[in-house]
């Protein structure tokens, strides 16, 4: 599996991804899933990938090929983030058209999803989720984060902590803890973790981090979070059973 | 959806469930999913259900029918919790045999799962997860909790807080917070929440709780947990980007 997330904030954008892939539990390996296609000074384009690795790698290859060949439409020429997201979706469709019938025949999941975030000069920062079908949705002030892959374990912390006005540094920390929570609960999500923090109107990726297994900072943040959570838990009041204790047998409300 | 969990501890057992069912997002209703089939003084039997409601209700009806008819094998006569769990699986198989072909034809999910927990005089407390296929697994000291239904959102807190030696009161609190986390992230899980805490060798359910939407205690625990989590989050150190800032463009490690 994979877990990637993007967070749009009023001061910028955070993108983060784990790096574990697996073909069954007996073939686990490491592949980067967060890519920087920026043209510094003019645009920042960050892409995260999840799903069938052969499909997502194929789509990335097509994206790079258009850049090298200086095709009219490429990641550095398209005028808006929306068009960039649609264009990524188009590449996913091209590869799926080639491979889907063969994968489908053997019951292999051909699905893929992308997060496409960044800022193009003249626009506000934007964040899109591109579905396997090539269509896309956009993050908004109401829902400032988007997730792909194994998204459920890491969602509670985002739901409790984040909104559009969360400071960028806090959003980055939250992204890291969301990935760490997922790694703790699902072995198919794993390090290295890549995190990028982008400040609006800088048009350059200035903050990026790669945390490998055993990175002291990763160990430290995991340990501290575990301790903090346990302390917070201990401070919570125990359940007030008072009015529910020693019910006469015939009044047990859960009687089967 | 549904979310139920059971926690086995060295001093007893906790079982908890939400009460929301839905047939699509436009038909949401409330059904109890935690049932007490105890025979106080001799055995405590608690059953949680998830999955297709017609299948789980059908299976429960068969369980009740055997009790009323005083069949040789029923929830009050079987000598071990393992046999009780297998017996519940048998009832799930009976109903599925009747209905599965009809449901399958129309692409309706016929799957169901059960948690079966309790203690029979002469045995230690035990907790089982009965699969849709009728087979079962048992909670152990190493993995003291089992979940059915929408299990992922509520797993991180269990992974961080619980082990077999967690005091029973804390395990109950943890179960409640696990359900609350799930409700916060998934609208298809909802109140009332039922929680039962059973102390080893009492052979009677003394602690049970039903928290409806708007119950002051539920609102209080949710609010406190949200505040505690946010405080814990604020105390976490920000990401140390120090050695990663202002990388020259050509050294960006994430280059797409």
> What pLDDT digit, counting tens, does each position of A2-17 carry?
999 999 999 999 999 9
Bridging pattern class, strands B193-199 and B145-149: unpaired
Residues 149-168 of chain B with CB under 8 A from chain A are: 152-157, 159-161
- Per-residue confidence (pLDDT) for residue B173, from 0 to 100: 94
Q: Which of B154, B237, B244 sits opposite A207 (nearest CB)?
A: B244
Average pLDDT (B202-228) is 90
Which of B1, B5, B152 is the best residue to mutate to test the A interface, defined by the most A CB atoms within 10 Å of its own CB?
B152
> What pLDDT digit, counting tens, does each position of B8-55 carry?
999 999 999 999 887 776 777 889 999 999 999 999 999 999 999 999
Residues 43-62 of chain B with CB under 8 A from chain A are: 45-47, 60
Average pLDDT for chain A: 91
- Per-residue confidence (pLDDT) for residue B23, from 0 to 100: 73
Which range among A1-5, A23-27, A178-182, B114-118 shows the weakest confidence by mean pLDDT? A23-27
CB A194 within 8 A of CB A31: no
- Per-residue confidence (pLDDT) for residue B144, from 0 to 100: 96
- For chain B, which domains are there? 3-231 (3.60.20.10)
Residue B111 confidence class, pLDDT cut points 50, 70, 90: very high
- Per-residue confidence (pLDDT) for residue B243, from 0 to 100: 61
CB A33 within 8 A of CB A4: yes
Contacts of B209 in chain A (CB under 8 A): 239, 241, 244
Q: How far apart are the first and last CA of chain A?
A: 40
Coil, strand or helix: which one is A81? helix
Residue A71, C-beta contacts closer than 8 angstroms, at least 6 positions apart = none
B159 min Cα distance to partner chain A (Å) = 7
**CB-based contact B246 A152, cutoff 8 Å:** no
**Cα–Cα distance between B61 and B39 in angstroms, integer?**
18
A54 min Cα distance to partner chain B (Å) = 16
| Residue A207 structure tokens | 């903050």
> What pLDDT digit, counting tens, does each position of B149-188 carry?
999 999 999 999 999 999 999 999 999 999 999 998 888 8
Residue A214 confidence class, pLDDT cut points 50, 70, 90: confident
Contacts of B237 in chain A (CB under 8 A): 220-221, 224
CB A181 within 8 A of CB A154: yes
Instruction: Give yes or no for residue B216 having a pLDDT over 50.
Output: yes
Closest by CA to A181, choosing from A217, A231, A221, is A221
> What pLDDT digit, counting tens, does each position of B43-86 carry?
999 999 999 999 999 999 999 999 999 999 999 999 999 999 99
Instruction: Give yes or no for residue B245 having a pLDDT over 60.
Output: no
Q: Which of A36, A173, A228 sits opposite B238 (nearest CB)?
A: A173
According to DSSP, residue B163 is labeled -
**Cα–Cα distance between A1 and A4 in angstroms, integer?**
10
Q: Closest residue of B to A230, CA-based?
A: B161
Coil, strand or helix: which one is B83? helix
Instruction: Give yes or no for residue B248 having a pLDDT over 70.
Output: no
Which range among A52-61, A80-89, A234-243 shows the weakest confidence by mean pLDDT? A234-243
Residue B191 confidence class, pLDDT cut points 50, 70, 90: confident
Contacts of A253 in chain B (CB under 8 A): 208, 210
Q: Which of A34, A226, A236 sits opposite B228 (nearest CB)?
A: A236
Instruction: Give yes or no for residue A161 having a pLDDT over 70.
Output: yes
Average pLDDT (A68-94) is 97
Closest by CA to A117, choosing from A239, A215, A35, is A35
**CB-based contact B159 A40, cutoff 8 Å:** no
**Cα–Cα distance between B68 and B45 in angstroms, integer?**
16
- Per-residue confidence (pLDDT) for residue B14, from 0 to 100: 98
Q: Closest residue of B to A235, CA-based?
A: B228
| Residue B136 structure tokens | 């079962």
Interface ipTM: 0.82
Which range among A137-151, A242-256, B236-250 shows the weakest confidence by mean pLDDT? A242-256
> What pLDDT digit, counting tens, does each position of A169-187 carry?
999 999 999 999 999 888 8
- Per-residue confidence (pLDDT) for residue A243, from 0 to 100: 60
- Per-residue confidence (pLDDT) for residue A77, from 0 to 100: 98
E strand or H helix at B230: helix B216-235
């Amino acid at each position: 599996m994979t877990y990637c997330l993007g967070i749009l904030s009023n001061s910028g954008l955070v993108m983060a991804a784990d790096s574990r892939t697996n073909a069954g539990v007996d073939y686990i390996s490491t592949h980067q899933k967060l890519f920087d296609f920026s043209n510094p000074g003019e645009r920042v384009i960050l892409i995260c990938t999840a799903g069938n690795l052969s499909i997502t790698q194929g789509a990335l290859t097509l994206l790079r090929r258009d850049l090298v060949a200086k095709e009219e439409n490429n990641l550095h020429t398209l005028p808006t983030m929306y068009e960039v997201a649609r264009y990524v979706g188009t590449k996913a469709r091209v590869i799926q058209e080639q491979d889907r019938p063969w994968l489908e025949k053997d019951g292999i999941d051909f699905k893929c999803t992308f997060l496409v975030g960044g800022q193009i000069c003249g626009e506000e920062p934007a964040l899109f989720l591109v579905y396997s079908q090539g269509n896309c949705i956009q993050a908004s002030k109401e829902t400032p984060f988007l997730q792909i892959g194994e998204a459920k374990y890491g969602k509670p912390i985002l739901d409790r902590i984040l909104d559009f006005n969360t400071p960028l540094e806090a959003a980055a920390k939250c992204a890291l803890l969301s990935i760490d929570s997922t790694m703790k609960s699902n072995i198919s999500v794993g390090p290295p973790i890549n995190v990028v923090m982008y400040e609006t109107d800088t048009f350059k990726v200035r903050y990026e981090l790669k945390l490998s297994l055993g990175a002291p900072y990763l160990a430290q943040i995991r340990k501290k979070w575990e301790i903090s959570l346990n302390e917070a838990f201990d401070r919570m009041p125990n359940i007030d059973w008072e009015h529910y204790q020693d019910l006469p047998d015939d009044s047990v409300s859960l009687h089967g």
